[in-house]
Structure 1
Amino acid sequence: MSKTIKTPGVYIKEVNAFPNSVQEVPTAIPAFIGYTSRTEYEGKSYLNRPVKVCSLMEFLTFFGYADQNATQHKPMYYVSELEKEAENGQSHYIQGKDYAIEPDPATIYYLYNSIQLFYQNGGGEAYIVSVGSYGKPSGKAKALGAPLENPNVKLSELLNGLSALQKEPEVTMYVVPEATLLNKVDNSTLMQTMLKQNMEVRTAVSILDVKGGEAPDPKLYTEDIESFRTAVGTNGLSYGAVYYPFLITTVTAENQVSYHNVNNGDLEFLTNFVSNSGSPNAQALQIINTLKNHPDEEEAQISSMLSSICLPYRQLMKIVVEKINTLPPSGAMAGVYTNVDNNSGVWKAPANVAVMSTSALTLNISESMQADLNVDALTGKSINAIRAFMGRGVLVWGARTLDGNSPDWRYINVRRTITMIEQSIKLAMKAYIFELNDANTWIAIKSMISSFLYNIWKQGALQGAKSDDAFSISVGLGSSITAEDIMNGTLRVIVKLAVVLPAEYIVISLEQQQQSS
């Protein structure tokens, strides 16, 4: 200033009292990729455009039907009588007869209900990438025992949505609930692409689901597990976590489902179903006949009346509601991650936590079953179990990445903590690009990073009785850079961390001793 002062007077110069600091980046911002009721809002297309929302209502504003009281997703199920009970619980016994109740796979989508599950488990801000609207129904049921695959769910469309996230560094989780609706080959390609992108952008992890988890065979479920481990590939495993099995949730209420979700609302089928149930209900048949002449009657009210007076109809609706409520766990886990991050910190393992709005699981996993899921000596691809415990509910009972054999990246909270620290320091270091590569800059950088790590150590992110035990920072000539590095314009910072690991196995040793006098 003295060089520019030419006039006598009093001049003020403001001096920064505080040095640059490292700010902790957000850790709980998932991106959901999938199909929505619509892809435009107020005349503007949001196809393959990440949209940030903060609530279910905001999601519906952009991607739901204009009438938000309307049913946002209408899956269709077809009921057919069987000559005998099908194997592995694939048939349903109603009033003395066996029925197959299978969906039209072209009407099955998971994104909307997964978003509901996300918010019911503590979700907050999230990005939505709509890759298209719902396709046309096929008009026929899935073959009994066949894999559930929606022909309207396209790999190319999901990949386009995934690619749109490359320019969104704020996103920390990728969630594609409808990935399991692809065929095996496409599902494999999608998962490997997700992990590859995670590895390249280094800001997000993928929460994956196991194909076949919606209706696992109690004896042959291991085939789905082995198929998943093969399909997920070998790259970027530390950036992925998978949960099993599917959840039986309560996000869709019984009053949201009616005869319109069965056999395409065919009233002739409904008449025959009620008539052939062993004890024909005259009152129910009268209501159905009235519907034939007045099809505009209030749907929910009529369905409620039929349920109250006709046991077979009530049993049928209960089965259909349970099938609609069977969802992949990835949406719920995104909510669990968010809840744990906000209440305890990203360094806390998102495990031993109840999964809300979940009444049961498609497969009850025992300790011996989980042993093979949690530790796979051959591939190291750990699969986190979700288990039901008597008196405690449905709990997340695993905290591993897919890189289960790695001592560095075995646990998902370690991977996400390191990612948070990396990105926080990276953003703060941009202020020093083109600064002098000298001792003053080195001291400022070390002080800035040390202050940041000291604060998160006090919060419990790093282990050690003293901060010196929790982390160390090396920056400067002779410690992290050489004279040649300075000549080349390179400034290198070495940070070593003692990250907190979860107590996955708690061993209590008991020993008897003699009574002493």
Structure 2
Amino acid sequence: MSNMKTPGVYIVENSAFPNSVVEVATAVPAFIGYTQTASQNNRSVLKKPTRICSMAEFHDIFGVGANLRFGFAEAADEVSNNVSFSEKHYSVSTSGNNYRLYQSMQMFFLNGGGPCYIVSVGDYTTGIAKDALLAGITILLNEQEPTMLVIPDAISLTAADCYMVQQQMLMHCGGDARSRIALLDVHNGFQDEDDSVAAFRAGVSNKGIGDFGAVYFPWLNSTLVSDTDIDFGYLTEEGKATLRAVLNEELGRPDVTSDLGKLLADLTNNKTYADEFKLKDIDRTLRSKSVIYKALIQEVSRQLNLVPPSGAMAGLYTMTDNCDGVWQAPANIEVLGITSPALKISDEEQETLNVDINGKSINAIRSFTGKGNLVWGARTLDGNSVDWRYINVRRTVIMLEQSIKLAVKAYVFEPNNAQTWSSIKSMISSFLTSLWQCGGLVGATPAKAYSVRVGLGETMTSEDILDGDLRITVFVAITRPAEFIEIAFQQQMQKS
């Protein structure tokens, strides 16, 4: 030692082990949308990525969901989402902006969600705008931790604007960040499969970036809102007027001096029924006496509980990663908090969803007798790619790339020599061995599951070293799901 000048005994501690690769988090989604408030510790977090770990934290910082109102009007003929009475048809439809972030957060935590980021781009006094959601995507560029991107409010836009936002989500994940995957919903994914899926495939391109996105269909009938929590207060003033006319016709115009008659006479005004008429008592009375009112409440409940699947899928990704590992395909698992998918899909119908001529695979959520409502697909939006067809393969490689990238940063500006190469190779090999032992890589031995190459004449030339380039090549055999299982049966001759 050059600093030993005084006679004595000196102790030197030598490092026996190389640096290690630490596996990065894989289940941290980022949600972009509109919230009631955006304040943390009396400071605004509007348009600022905010990390939360529970629904309670969401309530503290971002408030609750919007008070959605419904229109109730006579329709010219039988329409979808309708209520019928005396050969007349009535449409029930949402009035104003349908903010969906709050619902998606409920489904996320209900299905196993954990830490996540929220980017609030506005409150409920502003309309849902494409530009605001796109700005939210840009804000996330400087955040390193998120590994999923979810924008449930995109489906409340027009179809064209929704597809534009979803296209930018794919561009962000597959072009700019390359460290996260986009979870997409099908616009109007509760309607006919042929129409909604065809429109999605025509509106969103997967060229070069499809493996960074996954799509789920159809929407889900959730249990977030109970029928008992809904009353005529959910109707617009115009809707109340229509309801009063329908109830007068159905109930035979009750005496205006009776409690029911007073209710019908005042149904369209702004009185506080909870104080003056005991709202819940009147609601129960209408439910017992009016068929049309009961059907109306059920239809409002159905629409309130109709949710896009991306929030629930983000939760299931998180649960799968935490329980089994990112290399496990997030499929053949039950979606919690729902009664059924909005549409029933058969084996024949799923064929066109799962395998598409342009590779735009869409994962189905299906109901199976005795098994529940299962995620029945594990493909990315690049379903024709042999390399990146499966969601777990793409997400595992993202984890490997980001983990190794962060670890190798410690060797920037180190001597580009054999000692450095050996340290890097040992560090990466140790990490991949651990991954192989957990089942993330396939092979009878570590040597068959992966290989790491680095060095002069192997991955670099003399010119590379002179230029300051250190090149590492990693080969890995990723676990792939058994998507198609064939069982062959053949008769044999009697032997005894």
> Please, what TM-score do these two structures have when normalized by structure 1?
0.89
Q: Which amino acid aligns with 2:200?
A: F
Residue 314 (structure 2) aligned to one of 315, 324, 334: 334
Partner of 1:145: none
2: CA distance, partners of 1:424 / 1:284: 67
2: CA distance, partners of 1:326 / 1:187: 18
Note if contact 1:206-1:241 (Cα within 8 Å) is conserved in structure 2.
yes
Indicate how the Cα distance of structure 1 residues 498 and 285 shifts in structure 2: closer, same or farther if over 3 A, else same. farther
For residues 91-130 of structure 1, what are the structure 2 equivalents within 5 Å?
91-94=82-85, 97-104=88-95, 106-130=96-120
Offset of residue 309 of structure 1 = 5.2
Partner of 1:229: 201
Note if contact 2:340-2:373 (Cα within 8 Å) is conserved in structure 1.
yes
2: CA distance, partners of 1:369 / 1:161: 36
| 3-state SS in 1 of match to 2:381 | coil
Alignment pair present for 1:242 and 2:221: no
> Please, what TM-score do these two structures have when normalized by structure 2?
0.92
Indicate how the Cα distance of structure 1 residues 300 and 27 shifts in structure 2: closer, same or farther if over 3 A, else same. farther
Partner of 1:148: none
Offset of residue 185 of structure 1 = 2.6
2: CA distance, partners of 1:417 / 1:370: 26
| 3-state SS in 1 of match to 2:73 | strand
Partner of 2:181: 205
Offset of residue 258 of structure 1 = 2.5
Q: Which amino acid aligns with 1:263?
A: T
Partner of 2:369: 390
Alignment pair present for 1:348 and 2:328: yes
Offset of residue 288 of structure 1 = 5.4
| 3-state SS in 1 of match to 2:105 | helix
2: CA distance, partners of 1:290 / 1:34: 37
Q: Which amino acid aligns with 2:105?
A: I
Greater Cα shift, 197-206 or 418-427: 197-206
1: CA distance, partners of 2:477 / 2:465: 29
Indicate how the Cα distance of structure 1 residues 249 and 512 shifts in structure 2: closer, same or farther if over 3 A, else same. same
1: CA distance, partners of 2:166 / 2:284: 42
Note if contact 2:97-2:156 (Cα within 8 Å) is conserved in structure 1.
no
Note if contact 2:250-2:290 (Cα within 8 Å) is conserved in structure 1.
no
Indicate how the Cα distance of structure 1 residues 226 and 6 shifts in structure 2: closer, same or farther if over 3 A, else same. same
2: CA distance, partners of 1:184 / 1:266: 27
Partner of 1:22: 21
Residue 414 (structure 2) aligned to one of 435, 439, 443: 435
1: CA distance, partners of 2:352 / 2:2: 75
Q: Which amino acid aligns with 2:196?
A: D
Partner of 2:74: 81
How much identity, in percent, do the aligned residues show?
44
Note if contact 1:267-1:288 (Cα within 8 Å) is conserved in structure 2.
no
2: CA distance, partners of 1:402 / 1:412: 9
Indicate how the Cα distance of structure 1 residues 10 and 270 shifts in structure 2: closer, same or farther if over 3 A, else same. farther
Q: Which amino acid aligns with 1:202?
A: R
Partner of 2:479: 500
1:84-132 deviations in whole A, cap 9, x for unaligned? 423xx4422357642111111x231111001000010110011000110
1:48-82 deviations in whole A, cap 9, x for unaligned? 110001011101111105xxxxxx32111111123
| 3-state SS in 1 of match to 2:250 | coil
Offset of residue 283 of structure 1 = 5.8
Q: Which segments of 5 or more consecutive residues in structure 2 lack a partner in the other structure?
A: none
The total of aligned residue pairs comes to: 487
Note if contact 1:250-1:357 (Cα within 8 Å) is conserved in structure 2.
yes
Partner of 1:139: none
Residue 342 (structure 2) aligned to one of 350, 358, 362: 362
Note if contact 2:312-2:335 (Cα within 8 Å) is conserved in structure 1.
yes
Note if contact 1:274-1:285 (Cα within 8 Å) is conserved in structure 2.
no
Note if contact 2:38-2:120 (Cα within 8 Å) is conserved in structure 1.
yes
Alignment pair present for 1:404 and 2:387: no
Indicate how the Cα distance of structure 1 residues 24 and 294 shifts in structure 2: closer, same or farther if over 3 A, else same. closer
2: CA distance, partners of 1:94 / 1:357: 32
Partner of 2:248: 275
For residues 438-477 of structure 1, what are the structure 2 equivalents within 5 Å?
438-477=417-456
Note if contact 1:75-1:108 (Cα within 8 Å) is conserved in structure 2.
yes
Q: Which amino acid aligns with 1:47?
A: L
Indicate how the Cα distance of structure 1 residues 322 and 420 shifts in structure 2: closer, same or farther if over 3 A, else same. same
Note if contact 2:248-2:264 (Cα within 8 Å) is conserved in structure 1.
no
For residues 1-40 of structure 1, what are the structure 2 equivalents within 5 Å?
2-7=1-6, 11-40=10-39
Partner of 2:398: 419
